[in-house]
Amino acid sequence: MTTGPVPAPSSPAGPSPAARSLADPDTPFAVVDVHRVRRNAARLRARADRLGVALRPHVKTAKSLDAAALLHDGTPGPVTVSTLAEAEAFADAGYRDITYAVGIEPRKLPRVVALSRRGVTLRVLLDSTEQATFVAAAAREAGIALPAQIEIDCDGHRGGLRPDAPGLTGIAGILHDAGCLDGVLTHAGESYFCYTAGEQREAARNERDAAVAAADRLRAAGLPVTTVSVGSTPTAHAAEDLSGVTELRAGNYVFFDLVMAGLGVCDLDDLALSVVVTVIGHRPEYGWIVTDGGWMAMSRDRGTAVQPQDQGYGLVTDLSGTPVPDLVMTAASQEHGTLTARDGAALPDLPIGTRLRVLPNHACATAAQHQGYHVIDGSVGTRAHTPGIEAYWPRVTGW
């Protein structure tokens, strides 16, 4: 379903009413390059079109109605959410087709039922007889269908049942009897550790095969399967054949990050999220430049620590987004970041008050440290200037 109005862009005012450029808001703050978001969105939309599947972006990374509006060419199309707070915020904005991709538990059912009664097709996820039984009971009690998907484990990464698990058809049967069986969903979590294009293609093939095998098994048992959902940012960008799959999910691609660049899924030029920080000190005896952006601004996520190229807490660029060669954020306390030069390179001369941007390891985690984003358009003007702020996009918070 893609009906309903496009969410209106937020006011450019936001919390810094006077902010006109990246020189204005007090640091640290998160900045999003809308040009890169549009480009990242168009790239995956084109892939999904070519592969003949629907695209259901996961909005957990940006948690922003404004960012999500760009993922479907302006329409409130199908989305995936990681919290019921996201589901409610997107429902309020006109979204009517939402998958809540975290295993359901009984206490959350009243909010699921309430969303369904508002006309939202809210798909829940489960992988046990226990869950299928209480979802079916809740649907019967409420007198409505609560569409449910069975989580399939394709690579031993997190939740789900293997496609050949003995309990699979029993769970589907319980759901079907209550009018709740929607389909199957899997997520190739292990693809975050695939460092070659070949491994990523293989992970995508494996993910597709697991979902389709589970769907085929259910159909062979006479159980109708509507949705066959796969996706992760790496596999969504690597899949070559999604026959039998109905929809593709991915979330991180809206911003991308150093982990994804380290996997080769994107280039550094695709990273749409960064954090603006200010130099507040120097420790030449240690080779340190100290900034006011610590883990409170960047998160504690060190996803690249397990990659061939460890990027510390992030790579440093100037305010226009041009990388400062060999400068890495290597340590963080709550409100202090330490920048050092890589491999014995000279430390650049950056006086106190200099503003820089830091590209994060993990966009989902860094974005979560902020209440919203100052938005720039990196396609405007030359890269030599201080980018102007076009808008402020608030985030959905809480659960």
Which stretches of the chain bind its own copies, using CB under 8 A?
Answer: 15, 26-29, 60, 82-84, 102-108, 111, 127-128, 130-131, 153, 156, 158-159, 189, 278-283, 286, 290, 292, 295-297, 299-302, 333-336, 338, 351-353, 362, 364-365, 368-371, 397-399
52, burial (CB in 10 Å: exposed 0-12, middle 13-18, buried 19+):
exposed
Alpha carbons 152 and 184: distance in angstroms, whole number: 7
If the CB atoms of residues 23 and 345 are measured against its own copies, the closer one turns out to be 23
Query: In sequence order, what DSSP letters do the residues of 115-174 get, joined into one string?
Result: HHHTT-EEEEEE-SHHHHHHHHHHHHHHTS---EEEEE-SSSSSS-B-TT-TTHHHHHHH
If the CB atoms of residues 7 and 189 are measured against its own copies, the closer one turns out to be 189
CB burial readout 326-342, b (16+ within 10 A) else e: bbbbbbbeeebbbbbbe
If the CB atoms of residues 22 and 53 are measured against its own copies, the closer one turns out to be 22
Give least dist CB 278 to its own copies, A. 5
If the CB atoms of residues 30 and 272 are measured against its own copies, the closer one turns out to be 30
Name the one residue in this structure whose structure tokens are 């697991």: 210
If the CB atoms of residues 290 and 327 are measured against its own copies, the closer one turns out to be 290
If the CB atoms of residues 94 and 167 are measured against its own copies, the closer one turns out to be 167
If the CB atoms of residues 173 and 189 are measured against its own copies, the closer one turns out to be 189
28 upstream amide cis, omega within 30 of 0: yes
Give least dist CB 240 to its own copies, A. 26
Alpha carbons 96 and 296: distance in angstroms, whole number: 34
Give least dist CB 280 to its own copies, A. 4
Name the one residue in this structure whose structure tokens are 């029993």: 170
Name the one residue in this structure whose structure tokens are 């538990």: 105
Give least dist CB 61 to its own copies, A. 9
Beta bridge partners of 227: 183
Give least dist CB 94 to its own copies, A. 23
Give least dist CB 201 to its own copies, A. 23
Return phi, psi of residue 276, to 5°.
-85, 130
Give least dist CB 387 to its own copies, A. 17
If the CB atoms of residues 246 and 340 are measured against its own copies, the closer one turns out to be 340
Query: What does each C-alpha distance from 199 to 145, 190, 260, 264, 310 come to in angstroms?
Result: 39, 10, 14, 11, 20
Alpha carbons 123 and 148: distance in angstroms, whole number: 5
If the CB atoms of residues 176 and 187 are measured against its own copies, the closer one turns out to be 187
The conformation of residue 285, written as its DSSP 8-state character, comes to T
Q: Which residues contact 130 (CB under 8 A, 6 or more apart)?
A: none
Give least dist CB 20 to its own copies, A. 14
If the CB atoms of residues 8 and 305 are measured against its own copies, the closer one turns out to be 305
Contact 237, 223 (CB under 8 A): no
Alpha carbons 113 and 147: distance in angstroms, whole number: 11
Give least dist CB 3 to its own copies, A. 28
The conformation of residue 270, written as its DSSP 8-state character, comes to G
Give least dist CB 289 to its own copies, A. 11
Query: What does each C-alpha distance from 307 to 13, 73, 255, 258, 310 come to in angstroms?
Result: 39, 34, 19, 10, 6
